[in-house]
């Protein structure tokens, strides 16, 4: 079972940006099972020969964790295995490695690709998947994939699609002055009131796609200004975080923010992070069979995940993993051992001839 592998993975520190040791372990593990392993930095793409008569399924997991503390690392207490990254998402990684071991000894009814990557927990531009899709050497293999299971923590529920994300600075410009003589300047912070009022009054907006409802939300999440306590600020910036539904592409979402800029009379909008949404792929034959065969619960993904990178590149993908979402990034993070075993059994049975 994958629990022993999970304990090993938990014992290897892999906080964001420090994934080399765990990538080395996984690479050696896969090579020992006679897999071809292509490596880019600390991201691994592993496979065997492709049978053109079979569909190709990828099993995907990130190797990094956020920083954190755990008082019970490696211990199983009341059916819960504790450790940093236990749920997010070393439990999924352990299932992937155990399945690779299983199918190194017997045939699968799919061509299987195993993808373990670095830097998921940070900025989108540094994500370890991006260079693979941009590289001909890796993309030649990725193009063969018909469907991908991304084993993020979902409590063994299939989460379909995902919201897109845009971060943008709404910039308001004024004129610097002494705060004792404000009439000599123009207060940039005061100019931002229309935006803040608009955002405070916005309600979640429901969009339904393939029977699943996603909620669009827009919020101010950060502010920045130039000046000091006794200075009328000459510039005020508000970070607007827009989570948009899979019914829209990035350009459509950007146009909405540009229209908002005009409405609230901002001087400028600067886009700093652009992450596409992922389509709800319930019509994919691999997913359809998996859900029906095991009566798996299906939910919309009310967040962003790397299924969007696959979707943008024409590959259907969903989140399905053994970790508990509420444990992600928590102190004393744990995963329920039975969930890890259940995920492994389901995928092993589904992949088997």
CA distances from 336 to 30, 78, 116, 185, 209 (A): 26, 9, 22, 60, 32
Strand ranges inside 53-161, DSSP E: 56-62, 76-77, 80-82, 111-117, 147-150, 158-160
Is 283 among the residues known to form the active site? no
Residue 62's CB is within 10 A of a number of other CB atoms, namely 30
Local structure of 252: helix, strand or coil: helix
d(CA 44, CA 30) in angstroms, rounded, equals 10
d(CA 320, CA 153) in angstroms, rounded, equals 7
Is 51 among the residues known to form the active site? no
Out of 19, 93, 120, 155, pick the active-site residue.
120
- 246, 277 Cβ separation under 8 angstroms: yes
The DSSP result for 271-301, as a single string, is: EEEEE--B---TT-HHHHHHHHHHT--EEE-
Out of 64, 102, 306, 333, pick the active-site residue.
64
d(CA 299, CA 285) in angstroms, rounded, equals 18
In terms of DSSP H, where are the helices of the chain?
3-10, 20-32, 91-102, 130-134, 136-142, 188-191, 193-201, 250-264, 285-294, 307-312, 337-351
By annotation, the residues acting in catalysis are: 64, 120
């Amino acid at each position: 079972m994958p629990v022993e592998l999970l304990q090993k993975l938990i014992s290897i520190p892999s906080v964001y940006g420090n994934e080399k040791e765990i990538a080395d372990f996984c690479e050696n593990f896969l090579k020992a099972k006679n897999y071809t392993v292509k490596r880019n930095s600390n991201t691994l793409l592993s496979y065997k020969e492709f049978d053109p008569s079979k569909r190709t399924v990828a099993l995907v997991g990130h190797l990094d964790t956020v920083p954190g503390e755990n008082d019970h690392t490696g211990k199983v207490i009341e059916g819960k295995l504790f450790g940093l990254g236990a749920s997010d998402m070393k439990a999924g990684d352990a299932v992937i490695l155990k399945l690779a071991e299983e199918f190194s000894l017997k045939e699968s009814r799919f061509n299987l690709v195993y993808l373990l990557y670095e830097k998921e927990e940070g900025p989108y531009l540094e994500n370890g998947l991006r260079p693979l899709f941009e590289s001909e050497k890796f993309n030649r293999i990725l193009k063969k994939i018909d469907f991908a299971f991304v084993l993020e923590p979902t409590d063994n529920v299939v989460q379909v699609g995902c919201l897109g994300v845009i971060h943008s600075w709404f910039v308001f410009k004024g004129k610097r002055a002494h705060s004792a003589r404000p009439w000599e300047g123009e207060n940039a912070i005061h100019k931002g009131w229309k935006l803040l009022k608009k955002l405070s009054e916005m309600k979640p907006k429901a969009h339904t796609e393939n029977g699943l409802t996603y909620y669009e939300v827009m919020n101010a999440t950060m502010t920045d200004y130039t000046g000091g306590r006794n200075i009328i600020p000459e510039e005020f910036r508000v970070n607007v975080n827009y989570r948009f539904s899979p019914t829209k592409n990035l350009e459509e979402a950007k146009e909405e923010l540009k229209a908002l800029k005009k409405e609230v009379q901002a001087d400028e909008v600067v886009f700093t992070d652009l992450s596409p949404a992922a389509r709800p792929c319930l019509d994919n034959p691999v997913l359809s069979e998996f859900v029906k065969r095991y009566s798996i619960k299906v939910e919309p993904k009310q967040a962003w995940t790397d299924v969007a990178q696959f979707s943008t590149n024409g590959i259907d993908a969903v989140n399905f993993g053994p970790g508990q979402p509420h444990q992600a990034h928590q102190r004393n993070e744990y995963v329920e051992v039975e969930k890890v075993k259940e995920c492994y059994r389901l995928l092993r049975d589904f992949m088997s001839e």
